[in-house]
């Protein structure tokens, strides 16, 4: 079992779906995404190896914005670069779990 598949096994699919729905709800309301929303979106998209271009188009970021976020995620160990493709690490999946829990908690108030 690879490191990434271990991360996916640890990550609750309900929390993953919640994080995605939360983002979609914000987009419908016309709210701008925050930094953490963008990070979560990048990490969710990179559950399988993705190129920088595909990440850029999927997250609707320009190259400069994406570069800042990607450099930060790699330096913090949330994302890893392998053969010019990017993959979410176990630490990245842990971030997604905590992000989903925080959103769930905030929605209750």
What structural domains and CATH numbers belong to the chain?
A: 3-107 (1.10.10.10)
Looking at residue 109, what is its pLDDT? 76
- The closest of 97, 83, 61 to 72, measured between CA atoms, is 61
Distance CA 84, CA 68 (A): 17
pLDDT digits (tens, 9 = 90+) for 9-67: 555 555 565 556 555 555 555 678 889 999 999 999 999 999 999 999 999 999 999 99
In the chain, helix, strand, coil percent, each to 5? 70, 10, 25
pTM score:
0.76
Distance CA 61, CA 77 (A): 21
């Amino acid at each position: 079992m690879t490191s990434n598949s271990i991360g996916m096994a640890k990550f609750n699919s309900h929390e993953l779906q919640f994080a995605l729905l939360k983002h979609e709800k914000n987009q419908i309301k016309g709210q701008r995404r925050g930094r953490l929303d963008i990070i979560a979106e990048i990490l969710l998209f990179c559950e399988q190896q993705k190129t920088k271009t595909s990440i850029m188009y999927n997250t609707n970021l320009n190259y400069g914005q994406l570069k800042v976020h990607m450099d930060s995620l790699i330096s913090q160990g949330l994302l890893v670069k392998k053969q010019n493709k990017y993959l979410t690490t176990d630490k990245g999946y842990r971030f997604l779990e905590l992000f989903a829990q925080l959103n769930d908690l905030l929605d209750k108030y």
